[in-house]
Structure 1
Amino acid sequence: MNKVVTICGPTCVGKTGVSILLAQQLGGEIISADSMQVYKDMDIGTAKPTIDQRSLIPHHMIDIAPPTEPYSTGRYVSEAALAIEDIIARGKRPIITGGTGLYIRAMSKGLFTAPSADWELRTNLMNAEAQTPGFLYNYLSGLDPKITEKLNPNDHRRVVRAIEVCLKCGTPMSRLQTEMTRPLPYEFIKICLMRQRDELYAMINERVDAMLAAGLTEEAQALFALELAHTPMQAIGYKELFAYFRKETGFDEAVSNIKQATRRYAKRQMSWFKNEPDIKCLDITGIFGENEILDKIIPHLPH
């Protein structure tokens, strides 16, 4: 079975540079596993590899959809599978790089084909929860007790999604996951880069400042004039600046909100990857050189 190396981890941890070095060493090409880098015209705020970096190694699954249209996990897996097949057919090594845990899980564990989002239904469900706290979790327990046991009652987003799937498919989500889940036919070697929280948070704050200096505000202003799809409209860095453009916040507050939202996102990413059973986590705290990070990774790769 062909092996696919995956370098994952929280935002800003240092995945991009070391993945390019790794691809050069292994004769590989990079497949982005980032749910925001799929969108065109969202370059600075999503920390896409630069044009110079992409000239060193071919990158796939970047700039493949306009921000005015939705892009699903199912579509990602289908298109990433084609990229993997193409890379292997040309005698190269696929290297998955990114921080979207759902994309990585869906490729390696499988993903059942779920119905598209029903935003009217979701709004009605959230309104019901606001009126009667606990409604969502209790309602889901009647529809699908098995999936309910796996969810946190306070994780309203996932509870609502499970209810949505149950109602639109007429079948418990837990049954669909069992019957319709198929992983891609490769052996995934997953390595997660981690840093101590204080160090990572400081790096995040510095990168947000660098993004703003590089023109993030202007990039967001151009997107603000478009009718964006729901997901890119909620993207960190853009969402907060959109509030500033609407005069709901001041600029300094918007910047502070970007930094806070990014830190919180990184914390969620770290929790996700730590809870995945087949990921090797490497602590690279205090290591900033890409070659030194690569030296930590190499011993954990298949020979």
Structure 2
Amino acid sequence: MSSENETRPPAPALPPLIAVVGPTAVGKTALAIRLALALDGEIVSADSRQVYQGMDIGTAKSTAAERALVPHHLLDIAPPEQALTLAEFRDLAYQAIDDILRRGRLPFLVGGSGQYVRAVLEGWTLTAIAPDPDLRLRLEADAIRHGAAALHERLAVLDPVAAAAIDGRNVRRVIRALEVCLTSTQPISQLQTRQPPPYRVWQVGLQRPVADLYARLDARVDAMLAQGLVAEVQQVRQRVLGLGLQATQPALTGLGYREIGQYLVGDLTLDAAVVEIKRNTRRFVRQQRNWFRATNPAIHWYEAEPDPTARILAGIHGWLTASALRADEC
């Protein structure tokens, strides 16, 4: 007589998702394109600023030639005056990933925005509390009047868990957390839960020696300026501020856009703005490196030089094979 396990059909394997992560300027895009070309894949961008239209130079967005090689998703999906939320990004990412899988191709989630990556991979259930524009304006005014640190201290009183997880210099995130605390009965830290999405995930992390990475960062900033970063920032600012919005909009607070904005209003010289961009980018890269290593032990790390593509492909093929075998044994 057959047992229940013998008559039960094998459980289907969850569809695969490859994540390519690492700090800014480490070479994620070039690596992801090589992997996608080899594995019939498509790229889903996980960058908090590349979602915005008209912000190509300062975000190091994939070029038209790169997009012609491999389809890219979630680039240029929102105007710069729109504050695309993390919850909205997560939902759009799931839609893109599912569409890629339905067409029989392999999705690659690629980016250095740690929260955007984790929101997708860990299935963050994010608060659906609607923004309160009037409250936001008051909180933004408080930040200008009393400083970002005072706003963060207020959050620490209302929601110490959220305050510990949010960099006090990230005024937009502090304001959003305060907004939730002040307009709901629960702090934002209690409203955010996790439900892993229906994918099996293999994560690739790319790294370089610090000195090499810093040199690449500096060279990239110089190249952005030569390509027209100042004009790009000016156009984005004119569009956003022309609609009566504040300079705290996400499109204007990203690296490069904030510092060049300070130059455009006369708060910094151009040389000083460039120094600030490079300094702040290095600080951000240190945060990225620490974030990925501290929060995600599942990442398989590779040095960017010499080219690790062949070794990574071998690892992905082995993982795909092993995952299929485990599913057959169920």
* Bin for the TM-score computed over the shorter chain: 0.7 to 0.9
Provide the rounded CA distance (Å) in 2 between the counterparts of 1:28 and 1:284.
22
Quick check: 49-58 or 215-224, which moved more?
A: 215-224
Query: Any conservation in 2 of the 1:125–1:160 contact (CA below 8 Å)?
Result: no
Please, which moves more after superposition, 191-200 or 109-118? 109-118
Q: Retained in 1: the 8 A contact 2:302–2:308?
A: no
Matches within 5 A, 1:124-273: 126=143, 135-136=153-154, 139-140=157-158, 144=159, 147=161, 151=165, 161-178=176-193, 181-227=194-240, 230-273=249-292
Whether 2:136 is the aligned partner of 1:119: answer: yes
Greater Rg over alpha carbons, structure: 2
Q: Percent identity?
A: 37
Residue identity opposite 2:59 in structure 1: T
- Give the aligned residue type for 2:180: V
Residue aligning to 1:44: 57
Q: Are the aligned partners of 1:114 and 1:165 in contact in 2 as well (CA < 8 Å)?
A: no
Partner SS, residue 240 of structure 2: coil
Looking at structure 2, the residues matched to 186 and 92 of structure 1 have their Cα atoms a distance apart, in angstroms, of 14
Given candidates 9, 13, 26, the residue that maps to 2:39 is 26
Segments of structure 1 that go 5 or more residues without pairing to the other structure are: none
- CA shift at 1:251, angstroms? 1.2
Do the aligned partners of 1:220 and 1:238 also contact (CA within 8 Å) in 2? Answer: yes
**Greater mean alpha carbon deviation, residues 188-197 or residues 56-65:** 188-197
Query: Within 1, Cα distance between the matches of 2:88 and 2:256?
Result: 24
Amino acid corresponding to residue 248 of structure 1 in structure 2: D
1:26-59 CA-to-partner distances (Å, cap 9, x unmatched) read: 1100000001110111001100111001000100
SS in 1 for 2:24: coil
- Displacement of 1:65: 0.7
Offset of residue 72 of structure 1: 0.8
d(CA) in 2 for partners of 1:134 and 1:112? 21
1:202-252 alpha-carbon deviations (Å, 9 max, x no partner):
110011111111221222222232225600011111221111111221111
Decide whether the 8 Å contact of 1:273 with 1:279 is kept in 2. no
- Deviations 1:159-186, CA, capped at 9 Å, x for gaps: 66544323322124343224xx333221
TM-score normalised by L of structure 1: 0.86
Say yes or no: does 1:62 pair with 2:75. yes
How many pairs are equivalent? 293
Q: Provide structure 2 residue ranges, at least 5 long, that are not aligned to the other structure.
A: 1-13, 321-330
Aligned to 1:275: 294
Aligned partner letter, 1:270: R
Cα distance in 1 for residues equivalent to 2:149 and 2:220: 40
CA positional deviation for 1:84: 0.8
- 1:227 is paired with a residue whose SS is helix
Whether the aligned pair in 1 keeps the contact of 2:204 and 2:302 (CA below 8 Å) is no
Instruction: Quote the offset at 1:156 in angstroms.
Output: 7.5
Instruction: In structure 1, give the amino acid aligned to 2:197.
Output: L
Q: Give the aligned residue type for 2:34.
A: L
Q: Tell me by how many angstroms 1:294 deviates.
A: 1.2
1:56-95, aligned counterparts within 5 Å?
56-95=69-108
Match of 1:298 in 2: 313
What is aligned with 2:109?
96
What TM-score comes out, normalization by structure 2 length? 0.80
